[in-house]
Structure 1
């Protein structure tokens, strides 16, 4: 449905009256310091000539918002179109909107420090090329990952080479002892479900148009045809107050774990009076729970560490810059921005728990809770990434878990079975859909989506039900201020009409990412892939001697569970001597293990059948599973492995 119904038009017109669209300060700030726009009109290609980044696709985002877009989201997307090389302050530069995340470059006397790398090699290389076209060419002496998300480390190979890092010419600085495990594990262990779900919130399935993708809130687009890299940290920051002298400048670190990422830190450069709180402060409300799926975050932690940042650096900071969106200048404005963001997260946390203590359920709290105008009407607290609604539910889940205290929700029927009973109760699918069409005419789109959703789960082949639910989703998407909500609704509508696009989506659990995993994380990944029901009755043990690692390892299977331990076990069925890359490559491509054993590049003693049994018990996940109807039938007796 390619037009906005009257109810959607009215909802979007109400936004124009709710918010101060005459406030143009952000448009001045987003353009401030521009040195040069992106070359080639913002088109970045990889070595094969494929388009990796396509800024011109968003040329439609101009002028007033169409009826099919929330005016607040349209405004944010117009701001995010400002792309190029910017000078933030003396010695500090950013390349923005060449990728989902910014690359920040700090100039020392004789070298550069790069803070965050963006998502992929080609966009990061394009950022550095643009910088060097306009600034003196100096070597990069350090790369800083502010936190464990892929859009902040994935472009590292476009900035520095593994050889220079290995030679000690470049340090890779990151927070926390578990950076490798948390960065790579998130994208692999749950990588299949995250990647599938991500196709919806990030608009990967949608056309760039007024009825489709108009931005991601903290960026414009999701890159395609990308190469994602990773280099492990060589210098770990453990404690608040630690400093590093890099390129002649002082970098002071403030630890902020379990906030926007499990490992994250803030950075203050005293000589430049420049502060970043990474993704804990942006020109948007952030996610307490990502819609792609990740560990639930601590809203109180956001507030606590932002408050600490104000205490530590608030009197000195003259500019705030982040890995997304644009900077804030002037001490008073920097402090006001940080205080406002701090209080927003604290309000969400505290008021959610207040209402929970009154007995309200997560859904009831999300329907009721609104930010005070002093916070909610501030553009930087609007829901361009997280939303008040789904953040409230995340706070509840973080503090109290999924169960809301109502036994009817404790052990509900599976969705497909429940849906069939609702359809029967309504007198059949036709009668249920008739109710849905009546609600559609009344603009009650959430109820339409629920009613039609029962019909879809009861009979996924019922195209009338699918089309009606798609109609409702499209109107909800056109009204949504949050770009991820918009993209989710519109992507779901597309799949309901046309089926799952099996050519779309970037897999975070890529071969390159898996090969970069620390061995412990890779073995955790194997445990998740083990088909427990099929593994019952198989008892085996394999000892691993890794010639490139100092410690021995063992893998055992029993009771349908895989255990990996940093020691050999007694009475192993098989002893393997090999390298970590050989092990990982062999599990990913089993034939290479047999070849390597036959040519003696891997030494094997014992029953090689134990290895074949192990690999045969590992599931292969379908990256295109259904999101809008049940997948339960495929896993009712274990899971398919191919």
Structure 2
């Protein structure tokens, strides 16, 4: 079995890439023992198991696609029953692994595992049920996964808590604390006797993601406060929701403190600009994260981006009005685009200008003109050719999963409009490396 901690050390030093981890190679090796009585199942959403005299304590449970694999990996190591599982939050990559253990308990005539989460997790599941169609669409787009379908059933927690609570599972002392960050139902687990910190998605080996442009409100300032609290605990082993563990008190403190500083800078600069009367446009194009932080191996903008965090801070404090009075009660987008096309000499001219701007490296402007062209002439071949070309180029240039997903979706829409094919088929072809796009 590959030494996961040795690999994690190389990632910290910049000698190995995290894409090896995300390939699933470590998950296929089963449970990894990080220390005596600490097992990790390194999946997309990590799972941590702690054997006790009363059974297994589990922090996070993974996603539905791999629930059976988690069960099999656990049973390859131990026959001990799952005693208690804690959800770090209600996102679906963390809450779907209990099912096989429930079924096993029923077959054996045993009490099923107790699941514990924050009191906001059940309302989250209810909201997911109400917005299932929307969540299907936005996650298809974000992850370029046209076959994805949002789940309709959830394993609800048996117990909830509000601010903090303490568990004793066998000989294991577990202190749970709530904080808002990526979600409003996040739970942190601190094991003081072991100096182990299970932080959920407060740390994910990427710049933190309180900026997701397609999801509900997130909380950058409170996220940073939680990180500061965690950094002061003296943890010697950090077990994140995504990515590899971090061993060593100095490294744990540094990683958590750097991430807190990253969020504090973005939050405070945004609020200061808002207090000075800046518009959203001015804030987005003036607030930046320090280059020395973005260069850290655990703060690269590979999932979210600082610009998106700024927008979400604005949304939290400033609502949806962006400071442009024309956007307060805007004309329909298609109407505005047709007027601009008329002034420019037609939608084809807008499309031509989009490609000129793309060639000049003006990607943001190119995106505007390509979209204007397609909105002005929704069936125009020249417009959609330019739009597909522009957004394919933007997708290739983007660093974050979120931006790549939106751009690839737009390009697939235009390519489908050009040849009458299905948009989802274009996304599937692209994911398989067989895309017909020639840009």
Please give the TM-score of this superposition, normalised by the length of structure 1.
0.60
CA RMSD of aligned residues (A): 2.8
Relative distance call for 1:182 and 1:162 in structure 2 (3 A) is farther
Distance 1:417 1:285 in 2: 38
Give the Å deviation of 1:247. 3.2
Partner of 1:249: 172
Give the Å deviation of 1:236. 1.5
Indicate the SS of the match to 1:440. Answer: helix
Partner of 1:148: 90
Partner of 1:477: 395
Partner of 2:124: 182
- Indicate if the aligned counterparts of 1:244 and 1:252 stay in contact, CA closer than 8 A: yes
Q: Is the counterpart of residue 230 in structure 1 residue 154 in structure 2?
A: yes
Indicate the SS of the match to 1:411. Answer: coil
Aligned positions of 1:197-596 closer than 5 A: 197-205=138-146, 230-240=154-164, 242-256=165-179, 258-291=180-213, 293-311=214-232, 314-315=233-234, 317-499=235-417, 500-501=422-423
- Indicate if the aligned counterparts of 2:267 and 2:310 stay in contact, CA closer than 8 A: yes
RCO comparison, higher one (Cα < 8 Å, 6+): 1
Q: Is the counterpart of residue 119 in structure 1 residue 63 in structure 2?
A: yes
Distance 1:160 1:30 in 2: 36
- Indicate if the aligned counterparts of 1:278 and 1:323 stay in contact, CA closer than 8 A: yes
Based on CA coordinates, which of the two structures has the bigger radius of gyration?
1
Relative distance call for 1:372 and 1:449 in structure 2 (3 A) is closer
- Indicate if the aligned counterparts of 1:362 and 1:392 stay in contact, CA closer than 8 A: no
Distance 2:88 2:144 in 1: 26
Give the Å deviation of 1:204. 0.9
- Aligned partner (choices 75, 78, 89) of residue 132 of structure 1: 75
| CA deviation vs aligned residue, 1:490-542 (integer Å, no higher than 9, x gap) | 2321221025546899xxxxxxxxxxxxxxxxxxxxxxxxxxxxxxxxxxxxx
Give the Å deviation of 1:244. 0.7
Give the Å deviation of 1:147. 0.9
Structure 2 residue ranges without an equivalent (≥5): 428-439
| CA deviation vs aligned residue, 1:587-634 (integer Å, no higher than 9, x gap) | xxxxxxxxxxxxxxxxxxxxxxxxxxxxxxxxxxxxxxxxxxxxxxxx
Distance 1:269 1:101 in 2: 20
Structure 1 residue ranges without an equivalent (≥5): 1-24, 33-71, 206-222, 506-642
Number of residues of Structure 1 aligned to a counterpart in Structure 2: 412
Distance 2:351 2:379 in 1: 14
Indicate the SS of the match to 2:143. Answer: coil
Distance 1:136 1:156 in 2: 16
Distance 1:173 1:417 in 2: 51
Relative distance call for 1:83 and 1:247 in structure 2 (3 A) is same
- Indicate if the aligned counterparts of 1:104 and 1:323 stay in contact, CA closer than 8 A: no
